[in-house]
Structure 1
Amino acid sequence: MKTQSKKIIACLGILTTLLVSCKDLTELNVNPNGVQAGAVNPNLIMPTVLTETAKLYTNLGFQDIAGVVQHTQKDAWFNGHNDYDWGGDQSWTPYYDQLRNNELLYKRAVEQNLEFQQGVALVMKSYLFGLIADLWGDAPYTNALKGEQGGTEYIAPKYDDQGTIYAGILADLEKANTLLSKPKSAYSSIVENVDVYYAGDPTKWQKFANSLRLRYFMRISAKQPDIAKAGIEKIMANLAQNPIIDDASADATMAYVGNNANDAWPSNTVFDISGSNYRRIKMGATLVKPMQATNDPRLAIWAKKVEVPLSVDATLPAGTDKIVNGIRLLSPDKVGNTPIDTDPNYVGLPASVSQLPSTYNFNPTPGQTSVNPHVSYLNEIYMQAKGTLLKARLISAAEVRFILAEAAQKGWSVGDAKTHYEAGVRASLTAWGLASSYNAFIAQKGVAYDGTLAQVMGQKWIASWTSATESWFDYRRTGLPALSSGPAAKRKAIPLRFYYMRDELNLNKANSAAAIEKLEMTTNSQSDGKNSAWSKPWVVQGTGKPW
């Protein structure tokens, strides 16, 4: 009986405990070390969205897109960079990952009536969806980011037209402009150190929003010129209500902090002990030559001089190949008909020059681990994990001023084209610590304003160094600068878009197929069908550009 009584008492004790604890069962499901989506402070989400987006943009503009616009070339692991041999593995998953984080940021900011955070979230939503539409074309937009709601329409979302996405971006940016229009003191819960771009400055975020509006109005200018003209003129007619990034101090940038491999400059040799990420990138001849022709002071900031210049001397005995006083001397018979660059300072690697680019300029150590002393590496600052110039550059005063110079050349009411062009050149030099070089540089032949679109786009292309993605889209829209693919490139033209990835083709088959069907095949895309890097998306269809 005593044993049975003890069992009954124990059971009653457990039952009592359970009854008392029932109200706390939901709390037991809360991870004390985690953050619940319904309770998270939006300021905890913001740094992830900002840093990861900035890194994604740098990884585009400093890596393969720098190869597309021929700022750089690689002499090892070069096929994607030099030759556009991309295949079907270009994934938009990292972009949608950050869009999901950003959606939570916006939702929580709305719930807490935090207008600054709402404005920031709308700018970042526009930036990320803009990149997706720019890179791929049609994409999930209206029904994207809703997978948790269930239903096929959200798990396998439809693709919105590229033009529809651009229209949505412009609408969101206009809303962001209003949300961010108050003085900083009018907002609550701004935490400066979580805003790695602008330290919680709403005016600079407002400038970012309106500068993106300029970017996307110009993006659609060939397809919808009336909308683009009206949009840009409206912004410029009231800069008090629509401030823009008009000098380099307001550039949207993120400094790399260099604490580990994930937050360090991508070509650093601090965490990449092998140094291969730095060693295989070379300056592109397409960029080096026009910069040399105008004594461009940025070249010395971006590039390293050749370690051993070449010299071909007809007075040397046949068979001569030797180094004297740091110069490699070659007799003409040693060179023959092989192309050679004997510039004593900077030598760029030509675009897609061969199937083995490490052999260029008589490199004595060709191959994947080559060290070519006769071609310019990037400046040694790009070996560092961090530095004053090692920044992700999302949009700049230089870009904005060149957009306005182009708009003025079209006859739009935005001010004087020459003034905007010169301000763009000045802003770029200032961003790279070269403001004192402006007067001499702007007077150079080829830099002094000549009224041509080619010159505006050429300087805009140069100014996009390490952020070359926008120059790719400019080239696609204008055909400028007049780039051509090299002899080893996959096609005889510069590519226009990314491939839809294989997972998307398999898992969202009907919607991806419908999007592919709307692409326009070209002579360069026929060998791999409509889902080709050389098929034309909506934004260039019917424009005759770039080729």
Structure 2
Amino acid sequence: MNKLKIVVLSLALSCFYSCQDFEELQLDPNRTTQATPDLLLTNLETRAFNEIQLSAALASRYLVNTDGVSLNQYYGWQRSDFGSYDHLRQVVKLEEEAARVNKPVYMALAKFFKSYFIIGLTQTFGDVPYTEAFRGDENVFSPTYDKQEGIYLGVLEDLKEANAMLANTQETISGDVIYSGNLEKWQKLVNSFTLRVLMNLSLKENNANLNVKQRFQEIVNDPAQFPIFASNSDNAALPFYDLEDNRYPYFNSNDIQTAYYMEETFVSLLQDLEDPRLFEVADRAPDGAALPAEDPQAYGGVKGSDALDVNKQRVVGGEASKINARYYSNPVNEPSVALGFAEVQFILAEAVVRGWVSGNAEEHYKKGVEASMLFYGIPHDSIAAYLAQPEVQLQSNNQLNTILTQKYISFFMNSGWQPFYEQRRTGIPAFDVSGGGMLNDKQIPKRWMYPESEFNLNRQNVEAAIASQFPEGDNINATMWLLQPE
């Protein structure tokens, strides 16, 4: 009888465990299933603000790769990816966790990051999934593509709401490796980024839906409600440390030491302007090693458009400078600037020239140059001497070109693809395409093609987006809405 009871009990237990939910058995009771907002914030900051990209430096004619045919350098790229949606999923998680622990301040930051990443995506492709992109919990697994105009409208509203939320809270922010929880600096970033977004829309200044000029004026004319960057100390800059996984991205990079050289047109630009930043971003060329480090003629470069064998011969001949050794030998080096005070001043100078706001374009322009030079440690007396040069003065008949040229110089090895997008928007400076190495019929691409994965997983919607935007099809020379004047 006892043996029978044991058998029955064993069968009962077996049935109990076999009937338990399989997924429940996979849960580790010692492992957290929730991430606090501060941990999510730190992760998002390190993803968003690490904007040092060699690919962008090649496409923007700062550097040249001599180790092979670079599609970024020769403008032969095709598709990009939707990797930023992985970051946007973390933004959604930040919103959820902020609501769970009742920390609305993180909701404001989430609005900023959502705007930051989606602007990067739409700048890359054109129309992209936006309103339906994160509705998987509603069984929306094939999101439609939003029009670029609608995306910009949504972003501008989100940023305005984020500013208001930050202005009306005294909550503390933890996990902040950029501003150490300083609410005012976050507010300045939100509004300064809004100015960048609005300047992205310069070809749409007459669009009645966007009200670009009115939105710009609202920020600039009310600094109490809409504070913006006031100095380099406000920069959205990710610092680096001599710790594993926290070092400068190209520290000890063999490629940047041996295969990358300065681009000739960029070096020539700095030489013509007798710009002391040349000495901070480049090393002397071998054939200029006998000259003083402060002599601009000690530096040289090779053309990004020239064929690979031509550039290799010139490098062997000692004509080209490498990037300054600190970029690969200093684990800390300089921080990664995602958006800086210098850029904001150049944006304001351009806005004055375009008649969007009143003000002194020259004053903003000079502040932008000064901020860039101070970032590189240039002494004040050298800055004053540089700004006094006739070639650097803001001439009335050439204001926009001068402002945008200095803005371009200030972007060296920071701000990601922003210098390329600025040149795409304005044509300034002219990127050299004269050499024999050029692909794409010597054209500078205007965008990237959509990821192959979209055609496998979301074909109907991606094909609808292509048909509505690009009659010529999904190609890199198609002109997105953002670049079509109104």
Q: How does the TM-score come out when normalised to structure 1?
A: 0.80
Conservation of the 8 A alpha-carbon contact between 2:302 and 2:311: no
Structure showing greater radius of gyration is 1
Question: Which residue is 1:480 aligned to?
Answer: 428
1:459 counterpart letter in structure 2: Q
Q: 1:3 to 1:31 in 2, by over 3 A?
A: closer
- Determine which of 155, 178, 181 is the counterpart of 2:141: 155
Question: Which residue is 2:237 aligned to?
Answer: 253
How much has 1:402 moved relative to structure 2?
Answer: 0.5
Q: 1:87 to 1:420 in 2, by over 3 A?
A: same
1:169 counterpart letter in structure 2: V
How much has 1:233 moved relative to structure 2?
Answer: 0.6
- Determine which of 30, 35, 44 is the counterpart of 2:32: 35
How much has 1:268 moved relative to structure 2?
Answer: 2.2
Question: Which residue is 2:251 aligned to?
Answer: 268
1:381 counterpart letter in structure 2: R
How much has 1:155 moved relative to structure 2?
Answer: 1.3
Map residues 197-208 of structure 1 onto 2, 5 A cutoff. 197-208=178-189
Conservation of the 8 A alpha-carbon contact between 1:210 and 1:244: yes
Distance 2:384 2:315 in 1: 39
Tell whether 2:460 aligns with 1:513.
no
Question: Which residue is 1:363 aligned to?
Answer: 316
Q: 1:8 to 1:82 in 2, by over 3 A?
A: closer
How much has 1:200 moved relative to structure 2?
Answer: 1.1
- Determine which of 37, 45, 63 is the counterpart of 2:40: 45
Question: Which residue is 2:201 aligned to?
Answer: 220
Tell whether 2:484 aligns with 1:534.
no
Q: 1:289 to 1:170 in 2, by over 3 A?
A: same
How much has 1:121 moved relative to structure 2?
Answer: 1.2
Q: 1:492 to 1:480 in 2, by over 3 A?
A: same
Distance 1:228 1:435 in 2: 37
Question: Which residue is 1:489 aligned to?
Answer: 438
Q: What does the per-residue CA deviation read over 1:464-514, in whole Å, with 9 as the maximum and x for residues that have no partner?
A: 111252122221221111223232211322211112122212322121112
Conservation of the 8 A alpha-carbon contact between 2:265 and 2:432: no
Q: 1:343 to 1:356 in 2, by over 3 A?
A: farther
Tell whether 2:73 aligns with 1:76.
no
Conservation of the 8 A alpha-carbon contact between 1:516 and 1:530: yes
Distance 1:518 1:303 in 2: 45
1:285 counterpart letter in structure 2: E
How much has 1:65 moved relative to structure 2?
Answer: 2.0
Q: What does the per-residue CA deviation read over 1:406-451, in whole Å, with 9 as the maximum and x for residues that have no partner?
A: 1101122242111111111111112222252321111123212223
Q: 1:6 to 1:228 in 2, by over 3 A?
A: closer
Paired residue secondary structure (1:308): helix
Distance 2:108 2:353 in 1: 32
Map residues 341-356 of structure 1 onto 2, 5 A cutoff. 344-356=297-309
How much has 1:307 moved relative to structure 2?
Answer: 2.2
Map residues 411-450 of structure 1 onto 2, 5 A cutoff. 411-436=355-380, 437-450=382-395
The more displaced of 453-462 and 99-108 is 99-108
How much has 1:535 moved relative to structure 2?
Answer: 0.9
Which runs of 5 or more structure 2 residues have no equivalent in the other structure? none
The more displaced of 395-404 and 291-300 is 291-300
Distance 2:145 2:238 in 1: 31
Q: What does the per-residue CA deviation read over 1:291-323, in whole Å, with 9 as the maximum and x for residues that have no partner?
A: 11122121111111112349xxxxxxxxxxxxx
Distance 1:77 1:540 in 2: 32
Question: How big is the alpha-carbon RMSD for the aligned residues of Structure 1 and Structure 2?
Answer: 2.8
Question: Which residue is 1:120 aligned to?
Answer: 109
Question: Which residue is 2:448 aligned to?
Answer: 498
Q: 1:32 to 1:478 in 2, by over 3 A?
A: same
Question: Which residue is 2:92 aligned to?
Answer: 103
Q: What does the per-residue CA deviation read over 1:234-262, in whole Å, with 9 as the maximum and x for residues that have no partner?
A: 101110110111311100010233534x5
Higher relative CO (CA 8 A, sep ≥ 6), structure 1 or 2? Answer: 2
Distance 1:31 1:222 in 2: 54
Question: Which residue is 2:152 aligned to?
Answer: 166
Which runs of 5 or more structure 1 residues have no equivalent in the other structure? 311-324, 327-341, 365-372, 522-528
2:195 counterpart letter in structure 1: L
How much has 1:109 moved relative to structure 2?
Answer: 1.0
Q: 1:25 to 1:435 in 2, by over 3 A?
A: farther
Q: 1:535 to 1:26 in 2, by over 3 A?
A: closer
Paired residue secondary structure (1:394): strand
Q: 1:403 to 1:435 in 2, by over 3 A?
A: farther
Identity %: 28
- Determine which of 438, 458, 470 is the counterpart of 2:418: 470
Distance 2:10 2:417 in 1: 70
